[in-house]
Structures are given as structure tokens and as C-alpha cells.
Amino acid sequence: MTKLYHVFRKVRAVTDNRFVSADDIRSAFSAAMSTMYRAEVPAYGTLMELVAKVNAETLAADPAQLERLEETDSLDRISQERHGAIRLGTPGELSMMRRVFAVMGMLPVGYYDLSTAGVPVHSTAFRPVGEAALKKNPFRVFTSLLRLDLVADGSLRHEAEKILSKRRIFTEGAIALTEKAERQGGLDKADAERFVTEALETFRWHDRANVSPDMYHRLHDAHRLIADVVSFKGPHINHLTPRTLDIDAVQAQMPEYGIAPKATIEGPPSRKCAILLRQTSFKALEEPVSFQAEDGSWKEGSHTARFGEIEQRGIALTPKGALFTTTC
């Protein structure tokens, strides 16, 4: 019996070799997401160029930091450091999104009740876990679920639920390939490539809204985030985040690149040995959107939601956090 078990394990290992690793699928997906977002939001592409320039200049001026990154296998991760954020409308959307992310080796980590900050969502972060997976590609997506129960206007809440119930944010191909990955334990190269293409459609921007101008304004008056979730065909990625080694330099130089930064950098003040996380961003864009009126015609309007964020990671202040940070 033991011999048969080992033969089975060996056969399964050979069979599983035909599958693309979840880490590689995640890497392909994050790269495709970055390419798509640069095309949709040109300012993000400009931001990436600025970050790359600042990072190169920082390392050239600080050989010790370059050496530390090389020693900790972190150097290649600088260009890979990305996180994004999406907002979902229903528990069913979140359930399917969990399955899609699982194909990429991304699991829900943490729980955040943002209603305490006046935002009608609760959230988690889907990301790889374990040191090896994080080193391969640390891409994560902060995922929020709308809480319509917090909408005080009962009539508006009912109408929003009705709108959300009609939309389908995943393609048939994405669903089929997710089910296939679950059934057989992975995807081969051709299926993995198709999966990335199909899954990416969920995060694409759509400039035609699902609602009338009047409904959009009612939703926006309740909360701008409610309008962002309910009014559109899918949960467009609302930002991506590259990593910089000198966030103060990026903040100072953004205006030179035609980018309007936030007034201040969030997080601890600048110091010789950086600690914790510091972030800044360029202001959300006002983008043209068409809304369908009652007579079926399309009316021009606008929507503000998407932006570009930058992060700088300093030393963690706990032993657990220090596992994934560089040191001074």
C-alpha cells in the first residue's frame, strides 16, 4: 500500500508540472493590470516613469542601500511592488472574486470596518501569504464590499439593490476557467493566459454608466463611494501603487511632470531611518461618463474616482513585520 501511495504521489507531481504556478499567474495578472491602467490613466504611466527615475537616483547615491536590497533579494521587488483597490456591490460578487483571486494564490487577509470612518464598506486584502510567494510577487488588492444597509433612504437602498442585482461583473470565460482551475488543481499555460485576459475585464473602466443622471446624483448625494459602486458595469480598479525609495523626492517632482499631488504625505514624518508606511497620490481624475436618460438617449457627465498612489516602506516596528522589510 505504501508503495502504491508513493507511486501515486510521483504521478501526481509529474501531472501537476503541466500547471502554471499561482505565483506566475499573479505576476502576469499584475503586469497586465499595470499596462491596462497606464493606457486608461496616462498620468499613472507618467508617475511610473518618475518613480523609476527617483529610485535609480536614490540607489546611485546610496550604495549601502543597494547592497542591502541585493542581499535580501528585494531589489527586483521594487519594480513589482504594486497594490490596487476595488469596490464590490454584493456578497455574491465578493464570493466569486475570492475564487478568482485564489487561482492567483491570493487569499483574504485582515478585516477592516470602514464604517467607523464614515465610509459605507467593509474590506479585506487579497494577497499572497508566505515569504516565498511574497518574494515572487507581492501584488495585493484591497477589496471593499458596499454596505447598503447603511443607506438611510430606504427607497434609494432598494433601487440600488435592484441595479446591482442585474449586473454581471465577470465574463463567462473567467468563471469557466476559475471552475476549471478548482476542478483540476491548476491551469496549463494556454488556459492561464486566457484566464489573465478574461479576469482583467472585470477591472476595466467603462465610460457608460448603468444609471440615469438623476439616479447618479441621488447615489452621490448619499455618498460618493455608493455612486462609484452602483453606477457602473464593474468594479474598475480605482488605483494602483508603485513603490518608491524616496517619497519626498517624488512628491516634490510631481508638479514638474504635470501631476497634481496631494497636499501632504500621509504617515510618519521624513527621517534618516524611515519607519512604517508613507503614502501620497495624485488627485483623483474627473473623467467623462455618459448616463442614459429616461428616453434612452445618452447624456454627458463626469465622475471622479481614479487616481495614482505611491508608497515608501520603512522599517516595521514589530518582529513579525520586520520579516518583510529592509533595514537601515
- CA 176 from chain centre, in angstroms, equals 22
In a domain, 175, yes or no: yes
CA angle at residue 169 from 163 to 173, to 5 degrees? 145
* CB atoms closer than 10 angstroms to residue 184: 14
In a domain, 29, yes or no: yes
Could you tell me the mean pLDDT of each successive run of 10 residues in the chain, 328 residues long? 43 62 96 94 93 93 87 70 91 98 98 95 96 90 97 96 97 98 97 98 96 96 96 95 94 95 93 89 92 90 93 82 53
Angle between helices 172-184 and 91-103 (to 10 degrees): 60
In a domain, 206, yes or no: yes
CA angle at residue 182 from 143 to 37, to 5 degrees? 35
What is the pLDDT at residue 37? 94
In a domain, 39, yes or no: yes
* CB atoms closer than 10 angstroms to residue 197: 16
Beta strand 307-313 with 239-240 is: parallel
Cα distance from N-terminal residue to C-terminal residue, the chain: 55
Question: How many distinct structural domains can be found in the chain?
Answer: 1
In a domain, 43, yes or no: yes
- 214-217, long-range: CB < 8 A, 24+ apart: 215/159, 215/163, 216/291, 216/301, 216/303
Choose among 162, 156, 150, 159: nearest CA to 113: 150
What is the SS3 string spanning the chain? CHHHHHHHHHHHHHHHCCCECHHHHHHHHHHHHHHHHHHHCHHHHHHHHHHHHHHHHHHHHCHHHHHHHHHCCCCCHHHHCCEEEEEECCHHHHHHHHHHHHHCCCEEEEEEEHHHHCCCEEEEEEECCCHHHHHHCCCEEEEEEECHHHCCCHHHHHHHHHHHHHCCCCCHHHHHHHHHHHHHCCECHHHHHHHHHHHHHHHCCCCECCCCHHHHHHHHHHCHHHHHHHCCCCCCCCEECCECCCHHHHHHHHHHHCCCECCCCECCCCCCCCECEEEEEECCCEEEEEEECCCCCEEEEEEECCEEEEEEECECCCHHHHCCCCCC
**What CATH number is associated with residue 186?**
3.10.180.80
The C-alpha atoms of residue 34 and residue 36 are separated, in whole angstroms, by 5
In a domain, 324, yes or no: no
What is the pLDDT at residue 67? 87
Phi/psi for 130 (5° steps) reads 95, 145
Integer angstrom CA distances of residue 296 from 120, 231, 234, 299: 31, 16, 21, 9
Q: Which structural domain range is residue 32 located in?
A: 22-246
In a domain, 214, yes or no: yes
What is the pLDDT at residue 5? 41
In a domain, 103, yes or no: yes
For cell 457608460, the residue is 208
pTM: 0.88
Residue type (1 letter), 191: D
Phi/psi for 56 (5° steps) reads -65, -45
